[in-house]
Amino acid sequence: MNKKIKKILKKKNKSKVICLTAYSKNFAEIVDKHADITLVGDSLGSVLYNYDTTRKVTLENMIEHSKSVRIGVKKSLMVVDMPYQTYQNKRQALINARKILKETKCEAVKLEGGFKIKSIVEYLIKNKIPVMGHLGLLPQSIKGKFKSKGKTEREKNKLISESKLLESLGVFAIVLECIRGKTADLITKSISIPTIGIGSSAHCDGQVLVTDDLVGLNSTSIKFVKKFVNIKKEINRGIKKYKLEVLKSSFPSKKYSY
């Protein structure tokens, strides 16, 4: 087992797992200093390309962005989302997962789902592909509005069963997206691998957010997004200063000219 994965497993019930997204070298270099896991999420579809669904993200999109991210990642575990329709059966999943690992040099892939992808997750892990799970709200499966999960007794029991299933198959962690707090707490306590929440309360073993969201680069009104800084203002301020200096011919000065 990868040393970085072992380190993350040891954090269970001891220390929170920090997971953040990155889609380029520049962001990866910053994220890597703070995160245990750097995730190249298919959320790049909406964040960078303004897609209305992650289903439009291709394998090529993921691989090219991941190559850039790899340059900036030194210490954290790099995980790449397998996009929509790239793991419809065992053979296709293995071919695509191997392609991702080989071309991006990441250390694991993430797949959405539980019972429906049991045989696929099992097959990947048997073939030495490290897998991170993802339960609750599944963006690749959604048609229409996003709704939180784990509200009813039926949903709660299904999610707990799926989390135990994924653990038994050998996934090293599970992202819990938009799951009611009480249910997320039950899931976290029922398995021995870390849960990483997004909109699923502080009961999880760790948290993940889209970095562009938390630094204020992305305009979003999603309930679980907290903006910790507004970097867009700083960028705007810097560009405004550049524009003024160019207009006044004070830039470039001799210092910045050959």
Q: What is the pLDDT of residue 142?
A: 84
Q: Which CATH number fits domain 3-227: 3.20.20.60, 3.40.50.300, 3.40.50.970, 3.40.720.10?
A: 3.20.20.60
Gyration radius from the chain CA atoms: 20
Instruction: Catalytic residue, from 103, 177, 234, 245: name it.
Output: 177
What are the percentages of helix, strand and coil residues in the chain, rounded to 5?
Answer: 45, 15, 40
Please spell the DSSP secondary structure of 224-246, one letter per residue: T---S--HHHHHHHHHHHHHHHH
Distance from C-alpha of 119 to C-alpha of 115, rounded to nearest angstrom: 9
Distance from C-alpha of 76 to C-alpha of 56, rounded to nearest angstrom: 28
The domain limits of the chain are 3-227, 230-258
Query: Measured between alpha carbons, how far is residue 201 from residues 10, 135, 221 in Å?
Result: 21, 14, 18
Q: Please state the separation of Cα 47 from the chain's center in Å.
A: 12
pTM: 0.95
| Tens of each residue's pLDDT in the chain, 258 residues | 899 999 999 999 999 999 999 999 999 999 999 999 999 999 999 999 999 999 999 999 999 999 999 999 999 999 999 999 999 999 999 999 999 999 999 999 999 999 999 999 999 999 999 999 999 999 999 876 778 999 999 999 999 999 999 999 999 999 999 999 999 999 999 999 999 999 999 999 999 999 999 999 987 778 888 999 999 999 999 999 999 999 999 999 999 999
* Residue 167 annotated among the catalytic residues of the structure: no
3-state secondary structure 86-125: CCCCHHHHHHHHHHHHHHHCCCEEECCECHHHHHHHHHHH
How many contiguous H segments (helices) and E segments (strands) does the chain have? 10, 8
The pair of structure tokens assigned to 196 is: 């990483």
Distance from C-alpha of 11 to C-alpha of 130, rounded to nearest angstrom: 18
Backbone angles phi, psi at 195, to 5 degrees: -105, 140
Judge whether 144 and 114 are in contact, CB under 8 Å: no
Place of tokens 């709660």: 156
CA angle 107, 222, 238 (to 5 degrees): 80
